[in-house]
Amino acid sequence: MKRRGLLRLASALLGVGLFLLVGEGLSAVALRFLDRPRPRSEFELCMPGLSGWKARDEGRPRRKPEHCFRVVCIGDSCTYGLGLQDPDAYPEQLERLLNEKAAGEGLHFEVLNLGVPGHSSAKGLALLPKLALAFHPDLVIASFGHNDKWRSELTDRERDERIESTRSSLRGSLEAGLEYSHIYVLLRRLVSTLVQRGKARLGHLRVVYRVPLEEYRQNLHAIARQTRDAGAGLLFLSLPENPAIEQLSAEGIAAYEQKDFGKAVQKLRTVADFQVMYYPRPLYYLSLAYRALGEQAQAERTLAKASQFAKVYPFPLRIPMPLDRIEVADALEAAPLQPQDQFDIYGRYRKTMEQVAFEEDVPLVELASAQLAASDYFDTIHMLPSGCGKVAAVLAEAVASRVPPQRR
């Protein structure tokens, strides 16, 4: 009798094991279908937790060679060189330029690219002692701001605190183990999709800046002080957006006001088609031009997008819920932004970097002399090799001036 009970238990366990084995196989196939490779847009990369990227030079030897002046570049996808091969990103071009100019002087320059797509100043500060300063640099070049300005449901600080809290709990340990189960990952994804749909239909959305302006200021101050305490020099680098955005917007709006609606659509549509474009003003005038041409459906869709950008400016993903159910938890302007308003949010972050550079006595590298053109970009912020080369040329002068005479 006892033996029969053991056989039943063994059969039940075997059945459960076979069920789980088949379930794991089917779940793996389903996940492979759901995770078909596709290029990630910067919209997705800029959101915390979605980026699996690592710095290009993270694995380089930490020990610094003799007679080497080491420069470490920290920043986001613009520093990383999103869409470019390693030699084309500006840190790599900077290293070549510096070594060409220093040929025969007995000094070698090493420039490490520690930029990571999606990183904000908060992420850069968190990794500063663990990564950038661990390479014992002579000089750090810091460039942040593009991702700090994005909206999210949580600030980067809140998100990191929540992740840290989860990791330190029993639930976090259990989830870490279950991550190896295809069944668990598939079920979690399906439930998450249903929750998001329910939230869009019934819930409310709270949006904040990933790094609010005051926190951005504090992060830059902290980067300056920690770098100085480590005995390294520091340069702040302010990278501008594609000049075509402002130029084409102005031309398109002027064409609309002159009642040349076809030209207005042509110019403003080009702006709207830029990846990572979030300004409401050109979209608003594009909707008016569509309406003047009798294209009502296009006008309504474009105006809806302009209204979303004005309300949650800038939020990188489409929000499938009515605007009146979105709570804007912080703002840079006292008055709500209207779709027709001109508002340069990134300019506020650039201005803050300027102020911190002055207060901390840190050189700020501006790129006016680089004469960057629309042809140097492939979207609103990311540069082609030609643009990175212009940035590297300006940086080479700034870096050379920071090398002490005794090191030459």
Q: Are both 305 and 328 inside the same structural domain? A: yes
For residue 408, the SS3 value is coil
Q: Are both 313 and 263 inside the same structural domain? A: yes
> 40 in a domain, yes or no?
no
The mean predicted confidence, pLDDT, of the chain is 86
State whether the Cα torsion 165-171-173-178 is positive or negative. Answer: negative
> 7 in a domain, yes or no?
no
The one-letter amino acid at 127: L
Q: Are both 220 and 85 inside the same structural domain? A: yes
For residue 326, the SS3 value is strand
Q: What is the CATH number of the domain that holds 381?
A: 3.40.50.1110
Q: Which residues pair with 235 in a beta bridge?
A: 141
Cα separation, 279 vs 245, in Å, equals: 9
- Enumerate residues 6+ apart whose C-beta is below 8 A from 129: 226, 230
Mean per-residue pLDDT for 58-81?
93
Q: What is the CATH number of the domain that holds 260?
A: 1.25.40
Lowest mean pLDDT among 23-37, 320-334, 360-374: 23-37
Decide which of 308, 342, 376 is a domain's last residue. Answer: 342
Element (H or E) spanning 355, and its range? helix 345-360
Cα separation, 401 vs 398, in Å, equals: 5
What is the structure's pLDDT at 198? 57
pLDDT in tens, 220-264: 999 999 999 999 999 999 999 999 999 999 999 999 999 999 999
Mean per-residue pLDDT for 32-53?
53
Q: What is the DSSP letter of 139?
A: E
Q: Are both 120 and 182 inside the same structural domain? A: no
Q: Are both 228 and 96 inside the same structural domain? A: yes
Q: Are both 76 and 224 inside the same structural domain? A: yes
Q: Are both 142 and 227 inside the same structural domain? A: yes
Q: Where do the DSSP E strands lie in 182-310?
A: 205-209, 233-237
Cα separation, 384 vs 391, in Å, equals: 11
Q: How many CB atoms lie within 10 A of CB 52?
A: 9
Q: Of 281, 48, 39, which Cα lies nearest the Cα of 148? A: 48
Q: What percent of the chain has pLDDT over 70?
A: 82
Q: Does pLDDT of 41 surpass 50?
A: no
Q: Where do the DSSP E strands lie in 79-161?
A: 108-113, 139-143, 151-152
What is the structure's pLDDT at 2? 63
What is the structure's pLDDT at 233? 96
Q: Are both 229 and 115 inside the same structural domain? A: yes
State whether the Cα torsion 112-57-60-52 is positive or negative. Answer: positive
Q: Are both 194 and 315 inside the same structural domain? A: no
pLDDT in tens, 80-123: 999 899 999 999 999 999 999 987 777 899 999 999 999 999 99
> 131 in a domain, yes or no?
yes
* Token code pair at residue 342: 């001109």
* Token code pair at residue 164: 């840290």
What is the structure's pLDDT at 51? 52
Structure confidence at residue 174 as a pLDDT band (50, 70, 90): low
Q: Are both 179 and 230 inside the same structural domain? A: no
> 1 in a domain, yes or no?
no
Q: Are both 72 and 136 inside the same structural domain? A: yes
Is the model more confident about 307 or about 177? 307
> 29 in a domain, yes or no?
no
> How many domains does one find in the chain?
3
For residue 228, the SS3 value is helix
Cα-to-chain-centroid distance, residue 7 = 58
What is the structure's pLDDT at 47? 46
> 51 in a domain, yes or no?
no
Q: Does pLDDT of 178 surpass 90?
A: no
Q: Are both 115 and 249 inside the same structural domain? A: no
> 74 in a domain, yes or no?
yes
What is the structure's pLDDT at 170? 58
Range of the domain at 256: 243-272+280-342
> 20 in a domain, yes or no?
no
Supply φ then ψ for residue 115, to 5 degrees: -75, 145
Decide which of 317, 342, 367 is a domain's last residue. Answer: 342
What is the structure's pLDDT at 344? 87
Decide which of 297, 327, 342 is a domain's last residue. Answer: 342
